[in-house]
Amino acid sequence: MSGYPLCTCVLTLIQYLSLNFVQIGFMDAAKSLDMEIALYLPHLNLKQKKTVLTVVKTFMEEQNDWWDEVGEEQQKAIDNALAEMKAGKLTPHEDVMKKYTKWKKK
């Protein structure tokens, strides 16, 4: 594999994984990806490994916090719900189920 350009190796890996992703569960897919990447790394030269590391670091820097993606109104609603929860203003699940049992499908 070391005779192939890095982009060819990465594209081949992506194609292989995208075809198999549907066949396995999400957690299994993550483990499979980790194993697949680990198998390729020993075959890369130093320059290629540095490039892969740069790409991975870039991905980590680009990750957004989900909170930043939520609108201001939703953030306020979540904050209010958390404040109510901390204040003990909760309705037990059993009480909710008793109240709304008439709407449950039989």
**The pTM is what?**
0.38
| pLDDT tens, residue by residue, 9-21 | 565 556 555 555 5
What Rg do the C-alpha atoms of the chain give, in angstroms? 24
| pLDDT tens, residue by residue, 44-95 | 999 999 999 999 888 888 877 788 888 899 989 989 888 988 898 888 888 8
Q: Tell the residue number behind the tokens 């990750």, with chain if given.
A: 63
Dihedral over Cα of 39, 42, 44, 49: its sign = positive
Half-sphere CA count of 72, side-chain side, radius 13 A: 0
Residue 98 vs residues 6, 18, 84, 88: alpha-carbon distances, Å: 60, 46, 22, 20
Q: What is the pLDDT of residue 101?
A: 82
Asked if residue 63 lies in contact with residue 55, where contact means CB atoms within 8 angstroms, the answer is: no
Q: Where along the chain do its domains lie? A: 6-62
